[in-house]
Amino acid sequence: MVVQRRAWGLLVGITATMGIVAVTVSLLLDLRMVDPEGFLGPAWVRLPAMVLGAFLLDVVPRSVWRARWRFGSVLQEARILVRDHWTRERLVLLTVGLTCFYITYVSYRNLKNYLPDFYPRTQDSLLHRIDRWLFLGNEPATILHAVFGEGWAAHFFAFVYLLYLPLAPLSLVVWLVWSRRIEHGYWYATANCLTWTLGTVSYYLIPSLGPAFQYVWLYEELDVTGVTTLQQSLWDQRQDHRFPLSPFSESIQSVAGFASLHVALTLVIALIAHFTVSSALVRYAAWTFFALTTVSTLYFGWHYVADDIGGAVIAVAAVWLGAWATGQKLDRSGRDRTGDRAGDRGQGAGRSGGGPDDGAGGGATGPGRSTGDAERDHLRATA
């Protein structure tokens, strides 16, 4: 299939390019590549752990529900559900998507780590002047602090900002596991990897730190939050990378301003949800989270306005290229309302229940029903 080959080609091509560039730069700088840890440990641990968790969350509750709480029938229902949803195409999508994400993300973090070795000077002064010009000589952060205050608002925006950290990998798992159309999973995986790739390019095009690290005094009156701790930790790691106290230091430099990948990835989520998800609640939540995240990047000084604009451009480009590669249209026709689409019939995948494409749980055998429902009824009738 042309679309599938194109999707595979772009996704694998992005991954291979990022991996080759990261390895080459590490050899040139004579620096060892590292596997950055996240909230569940290194990526090679947390990604399979999240998939296992998603599998159990998908299969166990729905098997119990379908068995009408008759626990003797739970195993039979689980087998039907696995056969119905966890098809070969789904497993291939999971394997390809997670592998490409892992290589791309690790390469991204390492290339971000090498920034100070290439660019000891940054473009913060230019970006700051653009901010002040856009706001008629005022500081964006000062205006936001005056509007929202520096107390409870700091804690609220800190919660929003930090929520992004687990959302980045979890959103990928959700689309790979629960997208009712396989191609929607490829679309999000491709856009996700493109976001990290284009973001890396932007870091090297316009190296910067961000106002919170360059103009610290603008944010000194904010309440101490989790963001305060995170910013201090990132700055300490950057300094340790540049001026290591030990030759065995493994600190990872993670400070970079242009462009904002918080804005980019949350906009990617909002856009793809807008084109594929039938649930209005999910779509509104995605757009709201994107808007709040954008405000939080300016409120805490993670980014300049130009950084956020750059992040939005990256998101649009990633979603458009992903749509082209996977044969998707940038309109609302991709929202799965009835659950009966020709693209799934040929793949036999994902008709088993709600996913990011789904708002009502329709199935191929009628409203609210799936292939597994029909097979279950048949088994009961012949039992």
Return the ∠ at Cα 142 (arms to 239 and 316), rounded to 5°.
75
Position 350 confidence tier, pLDDT thresholds 50, 70, 90: very low
Six-digit token string for 266:
């949350």
Q: Which ranges in 244-370 belong to alpha helices (H)?
A: 261-276, 280-299, 305-326, 342-345
State what percent of residues in the chain have pLDDT above 90: 46
Residue-level pLDDT at 287: 97
Position 335 confidence tier, pLDDT thresholds 50, 70, 90: low
Could you tell me which of 107, 105, 111, 115 has the C-alpha nearest to residue 238?
A: 115
Position 271 confidence tier, pLDDT thresholds 50, 70, 90: very high
Q: Check: CB of residue 320 under 8 Å from CB of residue 268.
A: no
Calpha distance 321→304 (Å, rounded): 26
State what percent of residues in the chain have pLDDT above 70: 80
Six-digit token string for 3:
């679309």
Calpha distance 171→277 (Å, rounded): 13
**Would residue 234 be called left, alpha or beta, if left means φ above 0 and alpha means ψ between -120 and 50 degrees?**
alpha
Residue-level pLDDT at 180: 82
Average pLDDT over residues 255-284: 93
Position 155 confidence tier, pLDDT thresholds 50, 70, 90: very high
Position 14 confidence tier, pLDDT thresholds 50, 70, 90: very high
Q: Check: CB of residue 119 under 8 Å from CB of residue 257.
A: no
Calpha distance 141→143 (Å, rounded): 5
The ranges assigned to domains in the chain are 2-382
Helix, coil or strand: residue 264: helix
pTM of the model: 0.81
Q: Check: CB of residue 210 under 8 Å from CB of residue 301.
A: yes
Tens-place pLDDT, residues 170-188: 899 889 988 888 889 999 9
Residue-level pLDDT at 368: 40
Residue-level pLDDT at 249: 61
Mean pLDDT estimate for the chain? 81
Hey, what amino acid is at 182? I
Calpha distance 117→160 (Å, rounded): 32
Calpha distance 344→84 (Å, rounded): 12
Lowest-pLDDT range of 24-33, 143-152, 205-214? 24-33
Secondary structure string (H, E, C) spanning 88-105: HHHHHHHHHHHHHHHHHH
Tens-place pLDDT, residues 64-112: 877 776 776 778 778 887 887 788 888 888 888 888 998 999 999 999 9
Q: Check: CB of residue 296 under 8 Å from CB of residue 376.
A: no
Could you tell me which of 239, 211, 238 has the C-alpha nearest to residue 126?
A: 211
Average pLDDT over residues 26-44: 72
Residue 298, C-beta contacts closer than 8 angstroms, at least 6 positions apart: 140, 141, 144, 305, 308
Q: Check: CB of residue 265 under 8 Å from CB of residue 195.
A: yes
The answer on pLDDT for 219 being more than 90 is: yes
Residue-level pLDDT at 347: 40
The answer on pLDDT for 234 being more than 70 is: yes
Residue-level pLDDT at 344: 40
The answer on pLDDT for 366 being more than 60 is: no
Six-digit token string for 251:
């600190």
